[in-house]
Chains A and B, each alone.
Chain A
Amino acid sequence: MEGPIRAREALALTLFSLLFFLSRSSALHDLLISNAERRIDLSSHIVKVYLTLKVENAGSSPASEVVLAFPPSQVDHLATVEALATKGKRKKTTFVRLEVKPTELPDAPNDTKYFTIYLANPLNSAESITLEVLYMLTHSLEPFPAEIGQSESQLVYYRDSALVLSPYHIKQQTTFIKTPSTKVDSFTRVEPTNRAGTEIKYGPYEDHTPYSFSAILVHFENNSPFAVVEELVREVEISHWGNLQVTEQYKLVHAGARHKGVFSRVDYQSKPSFNGVSSFRYLLARLPPRVHSVYYRDEIGNISSSHLRTDSRKSELEIEPRYPLFGGWKATFVIGYGLPLQDFLFESSEDRRYVNFTFGCPLMETVVDKLTIKVVLPEGSKDPSAVVPFPVDQHLETKYSYLDVVGRTVVVLEKKNVVPGHNSHFQAVLFCPN
């Protein structure tokens, strides 16, 4: 009992001093997290972390912001952060999406980076709220050994902290790590630690001061396809003839443990369960419905190994690169398809025409290091703009296509580190009557 009290005293002291110096971060330490539950999903090469925080306002003034902290090593790999506020209890739970923005705090210890969640309604004193935070990390699984042979399976390291990094005091917290298989070579123990099946449980830990950190290392088997698109250029060309032509240029790489030594086709074909488990042959692209004229080729011609399945809600294109991809192997290809324009062209209330299209990569479970979307508008479009739900770099270009005179305006959107979580819609305005 003594420990917590002392901690609280320390907290109060810190609070006091902080209040004294920094009025801005005053609200920061009024809050405390009464319960934090973190579930880290390591089953694919995109690390998904679900964080449930029960935030309590212990201060006197209402708080409208909650700050999340990330170690600098994670921030570079952080693809997306989303936060939801839960309302109601049990079955009547509803979720409200909250705005999340990266912020800088001046007193960040060890270059900690912050994201601020803006609450819809300020949290009054002594009230509490439950926040669901989802964030995804890419390139966070380090293959070890870094080079493997054809018949070996792929082992990776995952580094994190057993404790949730937070600028707030956390009363109670638990972390669950889900591994893709039961094959876990080693993991750091921070008692109490349990392992059952594919799950490792850290905690529960009681009463940790802000910025508590306890490094852990999990070494486990992960044979899911480490499909990384190094560069993806999607060109969406809008034609007045009622067609939307999409051309996607991929530079694909297997980002897992590098392949070492021989590749034996006879082993690969005859013993598929032991051989090349970490490699992948197929990728699935989810395309919009009513897709037509699909092609799949590379710089030396058509690639004949692909299948298209269409139904009324979606189209699925199963593509097979020319060769199975082992660790470190690369492939480039182009997917192109046409879509009926009426499915994507809308008119807003102010008589503006806009195109509503999916951002992100249509390939499933794929990380895109650099994504460029080029929306080629019909010739003569003026002052176009794009509305994207997350920050991207935007600029305009001009492209000359079939028999153009003045050229077509191209809205170029660029974003780094894109995960399937970014597959939301964006709008590009192509016509607005002054």
Chain B
Amino acid sequence: MAAPEASSAAVPTLMTNNTLRNAFGGVLSFFILLLIGVLAFSIRLFSVIKYESVIHEFDPYFNYRVTQFLTKNGIYEFWNWFDDRTWYPLGRVIGGTVYPGLTLTAGTIWWLLNSLNIPLSVETVCVFTAPIFSAFASWATYLLTKEVKGAGAGLTAAVLLAMVPSYISRSVAGSYDNEAVAIFALIFTFYLYIKTLNTGSLFYATLNSIAYFYMVCSWGGYTFIINLIPMHVLLCIVTGRYSSRLYIAYAPLVVLGTLLAALVPVVGFNAVMTSEHFASFLVFIIIHVVALVYYIKGILSPKMFKVAVTLVISAGLAVCCAVIAVLIALVASSPTKGWSGRSLSLLDPTYASKYIPIIASVSEHQPPTWPSYFMDINVLAFLVPAGIIACFLPLSDASSFVVLYIATSVYFSGVMVRLMLVLAPAACITSGIALSQAFDVFTRSIKFQLPGLSSNTEVDAGETSSATKEAQNDAVKTEKAEETSKDRPSRKSKKKEREHVEKPSTKTKAEKKRLLALPLEASVISLLLLVFLGAFYVVHCVWAAAEAYSAPSIVLTSHSHDGLHVFDDFREAYAWLRHNTDVDDKVASWWDYGYQTTAMANRTVIVDNNTWNNTHIATVGTAMSSPEKAAWEIFHSLDVKYILVVFGGLVGYPSDDINKFLWMVRIGGGVFPHIKEPDYLRDGQYRIDSQATPTMLNCLMYKLSYYRFVETDGKGFDRVRRTEIGKKYFKLTHFEEVFTTHHWMVRIYKLKPQKNRIRGKTKKSKSKTSSTSSSKRSERGLFRHGNVFGGKEAQNQFCISSILGLVPCATTGPPKRQI
């Protein structure tokens, strides 16, 4: 959508002497942008082709459910929606606690399509929202980078962004999460900011506020914008780059943007009351002071100005000190110092693991490892420094913004692995600039040195940009035809030659241009190397999109010798709950499965992935870590009828509840001190074999996971922990098994009803006899088919899923949640 405007806008800025050639360039870049959009969309369809058109993972199920509600009941019902299906008995005000941007976007698309009589289901629209917005995001990247370093860099950056794995991981078809639209909103807001900064137009400033509003609607990450832009403004002021354009770019954004942000129910007064927004107001004051200073400086003579400065500074300092003191006192009086826990953990990476186990328990809130950088941004990691250097040649307002953006996002990505997503666009922009500049230099030197062209060394911005476009266009296709890349320079030069013959330029301003003439061989080799680098990037991205990030995580597959094996146990369990339990029954599970249970099984849950109430989660954690009777009492007091546990021991699914169990103990123990983590550990080690502590072997989670597990193979060998379980034969007294899925991955238990009280009789103490093992031997081997995860390929499968967030080690737990 943005492409035609972009290409047409590109034409006048090129300042060339040849309109025809620029029209050609404009059309070319339009089609390239179109292809980039198609690329961004189609590379994200692997999940649909390899698996099915289905919503992925955890949070998307909640968003999907909200969208269903929106399309069914309309916008007003949506704002007032009090959801009684979750956080039983508290409920949740969905309209006031959800970032509505994604939901409203998908709802609008759905409504638009249906009013045109295109009967797509809500699910289909939700599945494809993310790929569509990825295409938009790459176009926004083009616009942003074009503002910074010209159209060539813009196209390069757009191509890079269209397939950067970090972004793909959150925007494959089916990954219906806030990030899907938020990244587009983020880049587009930055583009409009730079555009305003470059033009000083109030029109763009207003658009900027609206884009910022959309970003606030979409994602909690909007605080990144509202801190980054003030930082940049401050940087400009400090480096003496203050201008009226800067003022127009900033002041309306703060005023309008804050007003608009306060309209979003989930933000509301937070837009003026939390510390995350204070930086913007501080800079707002500073920019006004500076503007006043510049204004006075214009009026007064230099001598008078000096007097005024000393006067104002002495008076102003006193006032400032007083105001700051009041502010600090106000902020310090609140327990978290006005910062929300997740934002605090951004500033202090150790904060969460120290104080908030519920944040630390989420695997994507861990700091990333080096391999994950290579996995997620690949060669861009090496191009970024070059891009930063290119931004300094010469440094403009816009390029300083890019430098600041990359610097801050690198820091944030180092704190939390999910913020790699914010780094990805910055990395793409800087790498795009780097690649474009490199191509620029190399092609120019080749042209300069080639005989026949040296006489006509006319180089201008338009031509180089079209040359890099050409190169990028080829780079997209490199994976298909790498042999063509070898003769690219010559072909390109031929093409240029032809252009030159056709359109001989009249002006010769070549001598004015500073030519960085490199030796011909070096240029050609460097060009080839760059193309290979690009090809490597493309191959890696396609691999990542196809293999690493396409799994929907609710259905697992494994390749064994007898073909593809599908593990659809989650949906089996949810479908069972949906159809065979009463509609008002409450289902308790660890919070990871809350969203899926409400969306797929349509049953009330106690806790879910929103995690807004730590005590409630701790209650469930405590129940899971308690012995059977105590757990029954807790669950009974919560009206729970069914307990759902995820158990991977039979097939080797590593992110099951036993592996997450320590977090239940920690979170439970954080609120109920009688749950102590050391009781579950033997010499600091977490184990479930015969060396495990009695507390561990008697807790509800152990019992529900391993109930009658020993009867499958006679030994009770757990394929995830790779050990025989400690306690093999036991009976459940307060729970009964009502459903276990085909591969035992989900087990559902029902609370037994309270026993009738018989007068004068205390409860008979039941002797725990181990069940007879008469028929055990004959059953051995029956579950041999369950060993499909034994093979190498199967291991790979789960390595991939561990990258996705199904982290196999015991310390890290459940996957994503919203920021």
Report yes or no: B566 in contact with A265, Cβ–Cβ below 8 A. Answer: no
Interface mask (B733-775 → A, CB under 8 Å = 1, otherwise 0): 0001111111010000000000000000000000000000001
Interchain nearest-CB distance for A270 vs B (Å): 4
Interface mask (A311-346 → B, CB under 8 Å = 1, otherwise 0): 000000000001100001111100000000000000
Chain A hits for B782, CB < 8 A: 269-270
Task: Specify which of B54, B575, B741, B779 is in contact with A265 (CB 8 Å cutoff).
Answer: B741
Does A25 make an interface contact (CB < 8 A)?
no
Interchain nearest-CB distance for B660 vs A (Å): 22
Q: Which among A168-176, A300-308, A356-364, A421-429 touches the partner chain? A: A300-308
- Please name the residue on chain B nearest to A261 by beta carbon: B736
Does A9 make an interface contact (CB < 8 A)?
no
Does A95 make an interface contact (CB < 8 A)?
no
Q: Which among B111-119, B250-258, B329-337, B664-672 touches the partner chain? A: B111-119
- Please name the residue on chain A nearest to B601 by beta carbon: A300
Which residues 332-387 of B sit at the A interface, judged by CB distance below 8 A?
Answer: none
Q: Report which residue of A262, A266, A270 has the largest number of chain B beta carbons within 10 angstroms of its beta carbon.
A: A266
Report yes or no: A329 in contact with B580, Cβ–Cβ below 8 A. Answer: yes
User: How far does the alpha carbon of A320 sit from the alpha carbon of B435 in the complex, in Å?
Assistant: 54
Chain A hits for B575, CB < 8 A: 298, 300, 322-323, 331
Does A263 make an interface contact (CB < 8 A)?
yes
User: How far does the alpha carbon of A323 sit from the alpha carbon of B579 in the complex, in Å?
Assistant: 11
Q: Using a CB–CB distance below 8 Å, which chain A residues touch chain B?
A: 261-266, 269-271, 298, 300-305, 322-323, 328-332, 400-405
- Please name the residue on chain B nearest to A253 by beta carbon: B579
Report yes or no: A403 in contact with B118, Cβ–Cβ below 8 A. Answer: yes
Chain B hits for A330, CB < 8 A: 579-580
Report yes or no: B118 in contact with A402, Cβ–Cβ below 8 A. Answer: yes
- Please name the residue on chain A nearest to B744 by beta carbon: A265
Report yes or no: A266 in contact with B738, Cβ–Cβ below 8 A. Answer: no
Other A-B pairs, 16, CB within 8 Å; known A300-B574, A323-B742: A261-B736, A265-B737, A266-B708, A269-B783, A270-B779, A300-B578, A300-B600, A304-B555, A304-B566, A304-B568, A322-B572, A323-B572, A328-B580, A330-B579, A330-B580, A403-B118
Report yes or no: B711 in contact with A401, Cβ–Cβ below 8 A. Answer: no
Interchain nearest-CB distance for A372 vs B (Å): 19
- Please name the residue on chain B nearest to A324 by beta carbon: B742
Report yes or no: A400 in contact with B117, Cβ–Cβ below 8 A. Answer: yes
Q: Report which residue of A265, A298, A331, A400 has the largest number of chain B beta carbons within 10 angstroms of its beta carbon.
A: A265
Known: A269-B783, A301-B52. A264 touches B571 (CB 8 A): no
- Please name the residue on chain A nearest to B780 by beta carbon: A270
Task: Specify which of B119, B576, B779, B783 is in contact with A402 (CB 8 Å cutoff).
Answer: B119
Known: A303-B568, A329-B579. A323 touches B741 (CB 8 A): yes
Chain B hits for A404, CB < 8 A: 117
User: How far does the alpha carbon of A261 sit from the alpha carbon of B749 in the complex, in Å?
Assistant: 11
User: How far does the alpha carbon of A430 sit from the alpha carbon of B52 in the complex, in Å?
Assistant: 35
Chain B hits for A263, CB < 8 A: 737-740
Report yes or no: B579 in contact with A332, Cβ–Cβ below 8 A. Answer: yes
- Please name the residue on chain A nearest to B712 by beta carbon: A266
- Please name the residue on chain A nearest to B596 by beta carbon: A300
- Please name the residue on chain A nearest to B579 by beta carbon: A330
Report yes or no: A400 in contact with B119, Cβ–Cβ below 8 A. Answer: yes
User: How far does the alpha carbon of A332 sit from the alpha carbon of B571 in the complex, in Å?
Assistant: 13
Chain B hits for A262, CB < 8 A: 736-738
User: How far does the alpha carbon of A334 sit from the alpha carbon of B253 in the complex, in Å?
Assistant: 51
User: How far does the alpha carbon of A332 sit from the alpha carbon of B575 in the complex, in Å?
Assistant: 9
- Please name the residue on chain A nearest to B709 by beta carbon: A266
Chain B hits for A328, CB < 8 A: 580
User: How far does the alpha carbon of A402 sit from the alpha carbon of B119 in the complex, in Å?
Assistant: 6
Chain B hits for A322, CB < 8 A: 568, 571-572, 575-576
Report yes or no: B580 in contact with A264, Cβ–Cβ below 8 A. Answer: no
Interchain nearest-CB distance for B410 vs A (Å): 38
Chain B hits for A300, CB < 8 A: 54, 571, 574-575, 578, 600
Chain A hits for B54, CB < 8 A: 300-302
